[in-house]
Chain A
Amino acid sequence: MKEVAVIGVGMTKFGELWQKSFRDIFVEAALKAIENSGVDHIDSMYIGTMSSGLFVGQEHIGAVMADYLGVTPIPATRVESACASGGAAFRQAYFEVASGHSEIILAGGVEKMTDGADVTEALATAADQEYEVYNGITFPGLYAMIATAHMHQYKTTREQLAHVAVKNHKNGSMNPNAQFSFPVTLEQVMKSTMVADPLRLLDCSPVSDGGAAAIVCSLDYAKKLKKPYVKVIASAQASDTIALHSRESLTALKCVSIAAEKAYKQAGLKPTDINFAEVHDCFTIAEIVVTEDLGFFEKGKGGAAAENGVTSIEGKIPVNTSGGLKSKGHPVGATGIAQIIECYEQLTGNSGERQVKNAKIGLAQNMGGSGASCIIHILEAI
């Protein structure tokens, strides 16, 4: 297997991009990444998008994007793993380079969620349509049931959930690409509209448009280009039951702990070796559970860690320095790539006010559904 690097990245601002089409959002991000990397061509591309068919009535995304990016006839493939589609696209690019089949690949992700589709219904297709959604559950509802169980089992508090939102908004307020680049107070979170008890509006990631792209190439090629690059030292993925109710534990995400174990093994690292992480905080409870299942904290201590500032930029293990899905926004298919972008920028020292001191190793954890799929990458500064 060849060693793999990320040589350049680009993204659109995340938000309600009324003036921009689905395809233009992707092309804007892809062009930025190509320009940023300095490559003169790409050999193929993978595009993560969760539900373009429901959101904008368009499938066959590989061809649409190759056409509009002006790169036909290169191979272009759409990759889907619900909210982990971006991470899955990146992983395909990683494999294609690692295998030696291609030298330079564009891994992108895009979603256009504000064109009028029923977003709650579209997102719910990532759960068990016949045995969860049929009976009236929603996505916030699934994570709310995880939160109820976690609060019951570990005495996680409502305030601890709110601390995740406060921290991520604070980080996002320093990110020019964030959808919600403003801070929120604990009181604002605690008083926001109840969506699915105990989760309130400010516990939920927003509905977003956005695109993100990364240029993946062999380490040898990256060295020749003389541009900042980072090394991909692990790529791991795991699956779990589609229905939350089928899992043995309702307070742990097994796909996360299994993918993490594989990723740490591949990189030869322990959780304590990770300097910062971008994790899939689609809801505040998700960040708490995921940081536990990544091995950063003992089971049941994730809430206290958020409350005590352990996951803040100045903390022991900064989490979601970009603002996370919560504040940066969550254009579903783009999220996994945007996490890679934050890692790239942190590891190349380009995160400005959000910069983590001595950031050498970053982890990106992208998750689909209520934890039915998880993709983890670990990146290292050169």
Chain B
Amino acid sequence: MITPRYHREIPQRHRLEAGKCKQCGHISFPPRLVCPKCKSKSFETVNLSREGKILTFTIIRVGPDKFSKETPYVVAIIELSEGRSANAGVRLTAQIADCDVDKVEIGDKVKLVFRKIQDEGKSGLHCYGYKAVII
């Protein structure tokens, strides 16, 4: 992870800041300059709730070198409780922490927690963000 790139995403990774379209109400995470639903360019910043459920997942058994200490680990697509649009919540990809990897199931309720995600090389920044834990 390169420092400026990491620094720029801190509002999203640390505080789950999203962009709510002032025209149609669609929530984009991360925030964007153009609303993917109505093409409006006007947003307000909102903080996502930290609760949601697992839509799908996998257990990474062969992972990248930087995640070798955690392997095997679960990565899931999580739908948060608030509405992204009429029929779907905001979705994101996150690791499921503190779990028995073989017991995770679609539909499990989770909450997002603040965790270290990776390190920038051997002597660089610790890079933080969100992981999910099953509740």
Residues of chain A at the chain B interface (Cβ within 8 Å): 118, 120-121, 124, 130-132, 134-138, 140-141, 144-149, 152, 193-199, 241, 243-246, 248, 250
Verify A138–B94 contact, CB threshold 8 A. Answer: no
- Listed by A's residue number, 14 A-B pairs whose Cβ atoms lie within 8 Å are A120-B64, A130-B9, A131-B92, A134-B127, A135-B93, A135-B130, A135-B131, A136-B60, A136-B117, A141-B58, A197-B58, A245-B77, A245-B78, A246-B91
Q: Is B43 part of the binding interface, using a Cβ–Cβ cutoff of 8 Å?
A: no
Verify B57–A145 contact, CB threshold 8 A. Answer: yes
The 5 A-B residue pairs whose C-beta atoms are closest, nearest first, are A144-B58, A149-B56, A197-B59, A245-B91, A245-B77
Q: Is B98 part of the binding interface, using a Cβ–Cβ cutoff of 8 Å?
A: no
Known: A131-B92, A152-B106. 18 other contacts (CB 8 A): A120-B62, A134-B129, A135-B95, A136-B63, A136-B117, A141-B60, A145-B57, A145-B75, A145-B76, A148-B56, A148-B58, A148-B106, A149-B106, A195-B61, A196-B58, A243-B93, A244-B93, A246-B36
Contacts of B1 in A (CB 8 A): 134
Verify B75–A131 contact, CB threshold 8 A. Answer: no
Chain B interface SS verdict (over half): strand
A342 to B94, CA, bound (A): 39
Measured between C-beta atoms, what is the minimum distance from B76 to chain A in Å?
8
Given A124, A147, A248, which contacts B88 in the complex, CB threshold below 8 Å? A248
Measured between C-beta atoms, what is the minimum distance from B98 to chain A in Å?
15
Residues of chain B at the chain A interface (Cβ within 8 Å): 1, 5, 9, 12, 30, 36, 55-65, 67, 70, 73, 75-78, 88, 91-95, 106, 117-118, 127, 129-131
Given A118, A136, A140, A152, which contacts B70 in the complex, CB threshold below 8 Å? A136
Contacts of A120 in B (CB 8 A): 62-64
Contacts of A138 in B (CB 8 A): 60, 62-64
A134 to B117, CA, bound (A): 8
A152 to B30, CA, bound (A): 28
Measured between C-beta atoms, what is the minimum distance from B92 to chain A in Å?
6
Verify B60–A131 contact, CB threshold 8 A. Answer: no
Contacts of B12 in A (CB 8 A): 131
Contacts of B9 in A (CB 8 A): 130, 134
Measured between C-beta atoms, what is the minimum distance from B87 to chain A in Å?
9
Measured between C-beta atoms, what is the minimum distance from B24 to chain A in Å?
16
Verify A136–B88 contact, CB threshold 8 A. Answer: no
- List the A residue with the shortest CB-CB distance to B85: A248
A124 to B66, CA, bound (A): 13
A244 to B64, CA, bound (A): 19
Given B61, B75, B118, B127, which contacts A137 in the complex, CB threshold below 8 Å? B75
A316 to B58, CA, bound (A): 33
Contacts of B88 in A (CB 8 A): 248
A199 to B58, CA, bound (A): 9
Verify A250–B117 contact, CB threshold 8 A. Answer: no
Contacts of B70 in A (CB 8 A): 136
Verify A196–B5 contact, CB threshold 8 A. Answer: no
Verify A196–B59 contact, CB threshold 8 A. Answer: yes
Using A244-B77, A246-B91 as known contacts, say yes or no to A137 and B56 having CB atoms under 8 A apart: no
Verify A140–B62 contact, CB threshold 8 A. Answer: yes
A124 to B67, CA, bound (A): 14
Contacts of A146 in B (CB 8 A): 56
Measured between C-beta atoms, what is the minimum distance from A193 to chain B in Å?
8
- List the B residue with the shortest CB-CB distance to A246: B91
Verify A136–B67 contact, CB threshold 8 A. Answer: yes
Given B63, B65, B93, which contacts A132 in the complex, CB threshold below 8 Å? B93
Contacts of B56 in A (CB 8 A): 145-146, 148-149, 152, 250
Which among B58, B75, B106, B118 has the greatest number of chain A C-beta atoms within 10 A?
B58
- List the B residue with the shortest CB-CB distance to A120: B64
